[in-house]
Homo-oligomer: A and B are copies of this chain.
Amino acid sequence: MSIANISPLVRMADKLALHAPISVEDRVSLLELPYASRFFEAGSYLLRDGDTRDQCGMLVSGFAYRHKINVEGLRQIVSIHIPGEVYDLQQLHLATADTNVQALTRCEIATIPHEALRRLAAERPSVAHALTVTTIVELSMSREWMLGIGRRDARTRLAHLLCEFAFRLDKHGLPPGQAYELPMTQEQLADTLGLTAVHVNRVLKGLVNDGLIVHNRRGVTIPDWAVLVAQGGFNSRYLHMNPPDAIVRPPDHA
């Protein structure tokens, strides 16, 4: 089977398997879900506060960010989404969205009808469980971010975020990959950290000067994982990831 014929839904199955046991049969049933695929340019809204949906959207490629805006127009980014994640799973249970989701880069979206997903969840409790765990992990992550914004200083906050990205983007080996793409502007970083762009610039340069990270155009590399982890006070437990060998693949996919 050529790469071109692999369903984009494998990304979703892989992602679910990071947090909950997914059997071979579960995986097959996920790949049989109906879907439609489409591209969005960077900056497009994938979901708007107040929207109603009858389909779920999964990021096949690219990045997206979720944000809220207060009465003064200030923006707070409350989560970043990476490929394989369903960014509007909650709309399966709630009538209207309470956040905005915007494309961070150009990205490909696969949409799956709510009805099909509901049917699958009803038939396969393990899939339903995996979807629920997904939401719970999002909750856990948002609490960790609250701790950061409320009780960590700017430098620690930024280091922690960079660790989190490294960990989540990693194929799940240890230690996480030393280099990754970070397509966020300093203003966007500021809005996720509860800082200003100017201060992000200061702190970012501080981390670079002190050799904790290398930050060349659009990418970050981490020379010493342990050092950055220490600076960020990072502990991956809140991400609730399974050990890598918990990921089960159908035999024909190996």
**Most chain B beta carbons < 10 A, residue from A132, A140, A146:** A146
Given the known interface contacts A68-B144, A149-B150, A150-B194, the answer about A136 and B76 at a Cβ–Cβ threshold of 8 Å is: no
Interface residues on chain A, size class: 35 or more
The yes or no answer to A5 lying at the interface (CB within 8 A) is no
A163 to chain B, nearest CB (A): 13
A152 to chain B, nearest CB (A): 6
Given the known interface contacts A93-B129, A140-B98, the answer about A147 and B70 at a Cβ–Cβ threshold of 8 Å is: yes
Type the 1/0 row for A212-253, where 1 means its CB is closer than 8 Å to any CB of B.
Answer: 000000000000000000000100011010000000000000
Q: How many angstroms from the CA of A71 to the CA of B160 in the assembled complex?
A: 12
Contact residue among B74, B90, B133 (Cβ-Cβ distance under 8 Å from A94)? B133
A136 to chain B, nearest CB (A): 5
Chain B contacts for A70, CB-based, 8 A: 147, 151-152, 233
B146→A78 contact, CB < 8 A: yes
A147→B71 contact, CB < 8 A: no
Interface residues of A in 80-109 (CB under 8 A from B): 90, 93-94, 98-99
**Most chain B beta carbons < 10 A, residue from A140, A151, A152:** A151
Chain B contacts for A152, CB-based, 8 A: 70, 74
Chain B contacts for A72, CB-based, 8 A: 151, 233
Chain B contacts for A193, CB-based, 8 A: 150
A147→B94 contact, CB < 8 A: no
The yes or no answer to A145 lying at the interface (CB within 8 A) is yes
A122 to chain B, nearest CB (A): 8
Binding site for B on A (CB under 8 A): 66, 68, 70-72, 74-76, 78-79, 90, 93-94, 98-99, 122, 125, 129, 132-133, 135-136, 138-140, 142-147, 149-152, 191, 193-194, 233, 237-238, 240
Cross-chain pairs A/B with CB under 8 angstroms, 14 sampled:
A66-B143, A70-B147, A70-B151, A71-B233, A76-B147, A90-B139, A90-B140, A94-B240, A135-B135, A135-B136, A135-B139, A138-B139, A142-B146, A149-B150
